[in-house]
Structure 1
Amino acid sequence: MNTQLRTTLLAATAAIALLPVAATAQTTPSDAAPAAPQDTSGDTATAPQPDIIVTATSVGRKALDTPLAVTTMNASQLQRTSMTNQADILNTIPTIKADGGGGEVAANVFVRGLPSGGQYQFTPLEYDGVPVLSSFGLNSTAYDVYYRNDLGLERLEFVRGGVSNLFGPGSVAGLINYISKTGGDQLEGTAQFEWAERGRYKGDLAVSGPLGHNLFFAVSGWYRTDDGPVKTGLPTKGWQVRGNLKYEFPDNSGSVTLYGQYIDDKAQYYLPVPLDGKTRNRIPGNDGQDVYQVLTPAVLGLGFNTPNGRFTTGIADGAAAKGGQVALAFDKKLGDSGFAINGRVKYSQYASKFGLWSDGDGLINVPETLQSFLTNRGLGSLANAQFTYAGGGALAPSPLLFANRITDRNRPNHDTTAELNLTYSADTGSIRHAFTLGGFYGHAWARDYNVTTTYLAEFNNQPRLVNLVVTNPVTHAQTIVSLNGLLNAGAGYVNNTHQVERYAAYFADQMKIGSRFNFDIGGRYEWFNGDIRREQTSVVVTDSTTPNLAPALRDVIWGNGKNFTAHPKTGAWALAAGGLYKLTDRVSLYLNASRGYFFPEIRAVTFNALGQPASYTPEIIKQVEGGIKIDQPWFNLTAAAFYTKLDNRRQINFINDGLGGFTEQVNLVATRSWGVEATLDLKLHKYLHFNGNLTLQNAKYTQFMQNGTSNLNVIGKDLERQPDILYNAGLYYDDGTVDLSFFTNYTGDNFTASTNAIRLDGWNVFNVDAGIKVKPFGDRRSVRLGINVFNLFDTDAVTEGSPRQDVNQTVGGAYFVGRPVLPRRISARATLKF
């Protein structure tokens, strides 16, 4: 990140952070605009529930009046479910499966049976309607590496279907949008301290209030250090600060809000590990302790010579992000004309790294005895081999070895987005129209620089590195196979630069016809311009002086300065319509249908041997959904059926190349999925309610082109990592003093690869959250002491196999490489509201 931007971001966020001091010296004028609605009801079943106003369309409407599938979560719900990472929250939303076994960041998000490698490929992540990044697929880093939740959030909206697909960045599969709290006419805030076993300490603060003259502020942030949830010896540590300044026009015609965010954080990321081949439970390492992860500080300083000088791994930084964004949002009614404008503009820049610990060396990928390691690589017998620890000393008796890879990914990026909408409200007879004419612009640039290194270590938690020297029994010549634990210097090299420019124009009409019927219709056209630069590689001798080195230590794969370039361009259109009929004031029927598109990830563009790029065409998605919404005083119910068809999907699999490196395999696929979803919130008692949701879905491949050939063995098979059933269920008690929540998330059986050869059993993760609240400082101030238990029964299920092995994962062998659910973790929180 350049110095000027860093200074600007820090100045903006620091200025917002200092506003509470200024606020204490201000008084709110009597004609100040009313405070924005805040979540003050907690989860008490009898508390009045305000109408949920959906903001994902040009005109905000009640969820009951919107012909869309809508899921919302208030601030209390977000706090209760956010125990480990973003996946904990998203897993509670119907039709979403989110894998959080990797730790605090980079959740793999799957939605409605759509084929995805994970991350957020179909569901943009937004804060206050502003996308974290405007285009996904410049590299594979997930959005949640750059932006995190905190106490300054008011609610979450997940809206899919209908004309919500058309506005801003657009997404037929839905938008994940977090809405921030803005200041009101009273100074208020929340401070929280969190402790969790295995070395987690976190402090959160959120403060908001008035500055006078219709100006309000809100600021929030956190600092966290964490040795877990799986101890690796490599800490997770960092901080973030966010804030906003909101000015409301004195005539109540609109507002202008300035947003700022800055993050400096490093979080460790866990990949699959070898498990027992039959039970798929964790297995003990050489020290007799079950192996939870193979991340280790022993690799610190590991490096090798390159044509550009010495390379030393920075893998200990984990998934790191440093940088931020500045955004401006506004809305303004233009007198009594019926016209209004609204828009948003944002600039962000992040210095980002992602330390990826693989699940094997790309050759064997499972633990090996000393002799099997030698045999599998044609290195002779144990009698002619000398294994020692890199730090000195002989290996323990009968140890297991595990050769593994680390990939240092350097991924800086910057992004500019702008959105402008002109709206007009008018009546034609009994029809009330809300017209929108708008446009969106996005320009995203990112680098994807990867260096892969292979090392040899014992099979343990936080393993020690291992050296190996082999002696030829005939010539007595020695070969250094592993030096200071380094097994393969420069096993892989990638240096790509991708940028995308998007222009979109859209229109919509949201109509209220009489008192019972709402109808929406709209369309969008978007232009896409891309730019690709990918450096080619050569094998280079970088150490010709150290005697007896094996070729893998002497030679490295490195960039040669020659580039493949391409400039893909395309365009696509979308149409959407939806209707809702109110049977009564509390019961609505709705139906929506859309024809939309996704632009393929630009990193999915392949080149042939002559450096010619493959064609680039949009992925077309068609979907329809219909259902019922019921809002009664003692229960809320929704039920819907959906159908989705996706064509021309460029599916990317990051898999082993068979030589110890990686390749991004691109398959051209088509899929169809159908299913039903239902939600229920039921009042059982004055202070007790039940909340749950259920998704039943069926997703199949209808086309699967691999290397230009149709794979008939896959067509008709289930999509990998997509379960047929998902549900959430919980009991929630809150009498204002004592609260207790017991809830579970169930993920059904699913397959690890497209051939459906390996099935993973479904699993439940139970969680408990409980607290006691006292008010020692008056009604406006309270202290809550709470305890939270994630994975109460310590479920040891496997969330995924090894994506890098894809269809080559061993079935029924001694080992199975998979990523288990994170282990049970107990945390305590002390929360002060003032």
Structure 2
Amino acid sequence: MKLQLFAAAAACALVAAAPAFAEDAAPNTVDELVVTGRAGLEAQRKVEASYAVTTISEEKLRMQAPVSVAEVLKNVPGFWVEASGGEAGANIRARGIPIEGYAAIGLNEDGIPVQHDGGLGFLNTDQSFRLDETIQRVEVVRGGPSSIFGSYAPGGVVNFITRKGSDHLEGLVKLQAGDYGYGRGDFWVGGPVAGFRLGLGGFYRQDNGVRDPGYTADQGGQIRFSIGKDFENGSIDFNVKHIDDNIIFFLGIPLTFDSKGDTAAVPGFDPNYGTFAGPETSHFTFRSNRGPYNFDLTRGTDVKLDQYSFQFKYDLAGWQMQDGLRYRTSDISRSGLFPNTPVQAAARITQVLAGLPAALGATSAQFRFVNAPGEVFNVAAQNGTGLVMDASMREQDIKLDEWINDLRLLRTFEVGSQSHDVALGFYVAKVDESFFQTGASALVDVQDQARLLDLVALNASGAVVANFTENGISRYGLQFNNAEGSSETYAFYGSDAWSLTDKLRVDLGVRWEKIDLSGRNERSATINLGQSATLADDNVLSGTGVFDALDRSFDGWGATIGVNYQFQPNIGVFGRYTKGFRLPSLGDFITNPTNTAPRTQKINLAEAGLKIQEERFDLYATAFYTAFDSQSFSETVFNPTTGAFTSRTEFTDTRSYGVELEGTIRPTDWFDVSFTGTAQDPRFGDFKFSTNVGGTLVPSDFSHNMQVRAPKVSGRITPGVNLFDGKLRAELDLQYFSKRFSDAANTLIIPAYHLINAQVRFNLNDQISIYGYGTNLTNEIGLTEGNPRAGQFVSGETGARYYLARPELGRAFRVAVQYRF
């Protein structure tokens, strides 16, 4: 059905050819205007902004062909981006703000949030968004005024600006193929119909995944329709988008060290292309006290989403009213195989035998393959390691409905020789969310596409006297959550771009916001189901039928002041201070029932920058400082002895300062080099706490340690050539990331690494272009994160011979053909 829908829509694009698109303007001929991170009537160029902003053009998006939001954001200095998990579910860090996912970064479409809170538990905004040819360009604001004009965006805001129909018919069709079974088609067509601007576009994609699980990894797509009209005093635009897509979520893999101490592969597991997920772990039937539950790993992140957007502008008596309304309804499920620390099979056998009563007469134990019961696991040398692992088969089902409305009144006032570009805004968001989580532990071997194992105890005659697993499941009911809730958010904000002279401008902004939360969360307890002859259902975590009510309110305020001085139209400097905040959200409660005391997080941000835009080079240099108060630092650790997760949370503050660079050098018309870079020092502040160990308080002091997974230095250099009168464009993309730490104690090092990518475009004529893309050309085993389930305070894998980490995806190639009309 997905494929037929896309094919029918794409056919609409193949209408009679109209005049071709104009050639994309070269970077040095574009005077870029920015609309993100501000509210005002006066147009503002990027070089005039009093905050750090990165713009990503249509041509740059096509040259890179990023498959995910995270890959797009690798273009942004000051951001640490983990894009190794696949097309969604990435982690983003902005300027040393240690919040995971998109909890500190807002994702917008045409200035309206894609999701009110991008950091809802298990639902990052990038799961609700797909990049395709309906997106024309991207603007990214780092820090600065982002928290004044948006909720849950103290670290920045990413604004995807959609393509709209114009006064003439135009369109494109783009077909892609890749070496991992990748096939994708994009299309867009737009133009005038009966006085309206119409647009229709979308994509459909299917592939096996760079890390092949043995089944279809990604399948689905998106379709978008837009209609708009300009009239004498304003405009109106309506946009509807439907996503029906399944994408795999890649997690950590086993690794070891070579004789030099460098990252190395584990026998039986390809670090560039391997994944634990496979046919044997793809389907289970979980036992529970509420009946059987069918678990389907092949769904991955399964998104069904409808989004309706309405934007209105109207000029009246010197004021302009702007209103952006968005409604989305969605059902999203995420199924994943979450690996835990591998252990030696012999050690696991010793552990289980020690816990058995002597009356059973158990003298030995065996691991047997579930799908080949006669095959016994070789505890000394199976797969070259003799390793086994408890994999967490986890699923989260989330239904999220949202109403968002952002109303602004804008006006420019002239006061003598000075001017004020003023905006007053009122933002409201109504969110309804339900959340259900279940899971089980599955015993597997350690190899690509892992195989299921059963563990049995034997007596002296070789008879089975105890079954620890059932068809590979060692524990049903590993996790349980069942909750629902609603939130209502109200925010008032205002801004003033105060031009004192033609060169000097002061930008002011303030925001007050309140959120009211209500809902309920079911309590859980462990029970013995008694449905199986094995131990797998003896300790099942399940709901009790008793619900705890949620009824809380929070409010906060923020403000910003920025100063911009424009020495010349193409050279300027700026400085800015922002008092930002992040309120608790619905997800803080209903996905985490133990979180009874969330805090309003406060962020102080300062930045100063130099901006130069010349014919032969652009340079944007920004120094920043970030102070973050009341950061909750949490970990959920898997205990292989008990087969359970334990959780705890501590609080600390953080400090980070650094420098960001981005720009392009164009010494000739046929050669250019673009670059981005970040040097920072992200550290904890006072981070002391004590842990109860056997009744004794053991103190820990992580004060001033490096923040988890944040590199001190990262950078990207992209030299490019234009040959044959611009018909051929070729780029080499070099990325570098310095070492990081996997835990707050700074005991487990994540090594530095680099990536080399390449992309090329050749224009056959004005309508047809051919693209080629190669990623991670050297098959670098670049680790983006360690194993969070081994402990983020002090990693339990420090010094271990075998450990888990998540590397960048292996080398892959794609080609594309694009037809524009």
* TM-score normalised per structure 2: 0.91
Q: Give the secondary-structure state (helix, strand or coil) at the position aligned to 2:706.
A: coil
Instruction: List aligned pairs for 1:722-737, cutoff 5 A.
Output: 722-734=710-722, 735-737=725-727
How far the C-alpha of 1:565 sits from its partner, in A, is 2.4
Separation (CA, whole Å) in 2 of partners of 1:195 and 1:16: 20
Matched residue, 1:378: 353
Aligned pair partner of 2:567 in 576, 583, 587: 583
1:245-256 counterparts in 2 under 5 A?
A: 245-249=227-231, 251=232, 253-256=233-236
- Residue 301 (structure 1) shift: 3.6
Listed as ranges, the matches of 1:55-454 within 5 Å are: 55-59=36-40, 60-116=43-99, 118-169=100-151, 171-213=153-195, 215-235=196-216, 236-249=218-231, 251=232, 253-277=233-257, 279=261, 281-286=263-268, 292-334=274-316, 337-360=317-340, 365-369=341-345, 371-378=346-353, 384-392=364-372, 393-395=374-376, 397=378, 398-399=381-382, 400=386, 401-454=388-441
Query: Aligned residues, how many?
Result: 792
> 1:688-727 to 2 correspondence within 5 Å?
688-704=671-687, 713-727=701-715
- The offset of 1:831, in angstroms, is 1.1
* Alpha-carbon separation, structure 2, partners of 1:464 and 1:425: 67
Cα distance in 2 between the residues matched to 1:755 and 1:292: 30
| Alignment CA distance shift 1:607-1:112 (3 Å) | closer
Answering whether residue 667 of structure 2 is matched by residue 684 of structure 1, we say yes
Matched, 1:643 2:625: yes
Q: Of 786, 791, 803, which aligns to 1:801?
A: 786
Deviates more, 1:103-112 or 1:726-735: 726-735
Aligned to 2:650: 667
Q: CA deviation at 1:605?
A: 5.3
Q: Deviations over 1:234-262 (max 9, x none)?
A: 3211111122111111x2x3211101111
Q: Secondary structure at the match of 2:292?
A: strand
Q: Which runs of 5+ in 2 are unaligned?
A: 692-696
Query: Sequence identity of aligned pairs in percent?
Result: 22
Judge conservation of contact 1:442–1:503 (CA < 8 Å) in 2: yes
For 1:455-470, list aligned pairs within 5 A.
455-470=442-457
Q: RMSD in angstroms over aligned alpha carbons?
A: 3.0
Distance 1:263 1:809 in 2: 40
Contact conserved, 2:36 with 2:159, CA < 8 A, in 1? no
CA shift for structure 1 position 162: 4.2
Partner of 1:600: 584
For residue 689 of structure 1, give the secondary structure of its aligned residue in structure 2.
strand
Q: Secondary structure at the match of 1:796?
A: coil
Q: For 1:585 and 1:626, locate their aligned partners in 2 and report how far apart those are by CA, in whole Å.
A: 18
Aligned to 2:686, the other structure's residue is in SS state strand
Instruction: For 1:707 and 1:326, locate their aligned partners in 2 and report how far apart those are by CA, in whole Å.
Output: 49
User: Could you say what secondary structure the match of 1:530 adopts?
Assistant: strand
Partners of 1:421 and 1:802 in 2: CA distance: 45
* Aligned residue type for 2:773: N
Residues 464-479 of structure 1: pairs in structure 2 closer than 5 A: 464-473=451-460, 478-479=465-466
The amino acid of 1:484's aligned partner reads N
8 A contact 2:52–2:143 mirrored in 1: yes
Q: 1:195 to 1:525 in 2, by over 3 A?
A: same
Residues in 1 aligned to 2:174 and 2:754: alpha-carbon distance in whole angstroms? 29
Whether contact under 8 Å (1:703, 1:710) holds in the other structure is: no
Aligned counterparts of 1:330 and 1:234: Cα–Cα separation in 2: 45
Offset, 1:538: 2.1
- Partner Cα distance (1:528, 1:723) in 2: 34
The structure-2 alpha-carbon separation of the partners of 1:263 and 1:623, relative to structure 1 and needing over 3 Å to count, comes to same
Distance 1:301 1:190 in 2: 40
Cα distance change, pair 685–229 in 1 and its aligned pair in 2 (3 A): same
User: Separation in 1 of the partners of 2:31 and 2:362?
Assistant: 73
Q: Which residue of 2 aligns with 1:757?
A: 747
Distance 1:275 1:356, change over 3 A: same
Q: Select between 384-393 and 180-189 the one with higher mean Cα deviation.
A: 384-393
Q: Which deviations, in whole Å up to 9, do the C-alpha atoms of 1:533-576 show, x marking residues without a partner?
A: 221112223234x44x22x3344211111122232211111111
After TM superposition, give the deviation of residue 666 of structure 1 in Å.
Answer: 2.6
**C-alpha distance in 2 between matches for 1:726 and 1:287:** 29
Pairwise CA distance, 1:93: 0.4
Report the Cα offset of residue 452 of structure 1: 1.6
Residue 241 to residue 533, structure 1, CA distance change in 2 (3 Å): same
Q: In 2 relative to 1, CA 649–743 (structure 1 residues): closer, same or farther, beyond 3 Å? A: same
Offset at 1:698? 0.9
* Aligned match for 1:522, one of 509, 521, 532: 509
- Does residue 534 of structure 1 match 2:509? no
Contact 1:246 1:258 (8 Å CA) reproduced? yes
- How many angstroms apart in 1 are the aligned matches of 2:565 and 2:270? 64
Aligned equivalents of 1:571 and 1:15: distance in 2?
Answer: 48
Give the conservation status (yes or no) of the 8 Å contact 2:363–2:458: no
Match of 1:52 in 2: 33
Q: How far does residue 662 in structure 1 lie from its aligned partner after superposition?
A: 3.1
SS in 1 for 2:60: helix
Deviation of the 1:358 alpha carbon: 1.1
| Aligned position for 2:694 | none
CA deviations on 1:176-200 (whole Å, 9 max, x unpaired) are 1100111111211121111111211
**Which one-letter code corresponds to 2:122 in the other structure?**
S
Q: Deviations over 1:366-405 (max 9, x none)?
A: 1423x23211333689973343321223136531333311
1:562 aligns with 2:546: yes
User: Which residue of structure 2 lines up, in the alignment, with residue 3 of structure 1?
Assistant: none
Change (3 A) 1:298 1:272: same
Distance 1:498 1:559 in 2: 17
| Cα distance between partner residues in 1 of 2:273 and 2:321 | 57
Aligned mates of 1:268, 1:647 — CA distance in 2: 35
Whether the aligned pair in 1 keeps the contact of 2:328 and 2:402 (CA below 8 Å) is: yes
Secondary structure at the counterpart of residue 797 of structure 2 = coil
What per-residue deviation string (whole Å, max 9, x for no partner) do you get for residues 125-177 of structure 1? 11111211102444222111111110111111011344443224363321111
Name stretches of at least 5 consecutive residues in structure 1 with no aligned partner. 1-5, 28-34
Distance 1:772 1:475 in 2: 69
Displacement of 1:618 after TM fit?
A: 1.4
Cα contact 1:280–1:816 (8 A) shared by 2: no
Q: Which amino acid aligns with 2:353?
A: G
Query: 1:153 and 1:220, CA in 2 relative to 1: closer, same or farther beyond 3 A?
Result: same
The one-letter code of the counterpart of 1:718 is: M
Instruction: Decide which of 492, 498, 510 is 2:497's aligned counterpart.
Output: 510
Q: Aligned equivalents of 1:456 and 1:684: distance in 2?
A: 59
In the TM superposition, residue 320 of structure 1 has moved relative to its aligned partner by 1.1
In structure 2, the CA distance between the partners of 1:288 and 1:823, relative to structure 1 (3 Å rule), is: closer
- Residue 431 (structure 1) shift: 1.1
CA distance in 1, matches of 2:631, 2:733: 36
C-alpha distance in 2 between matches for 1:247 and 1:572: 38
> Is the 2:13–2:171 Cα contact (8 Å) retained in structure 1?
no
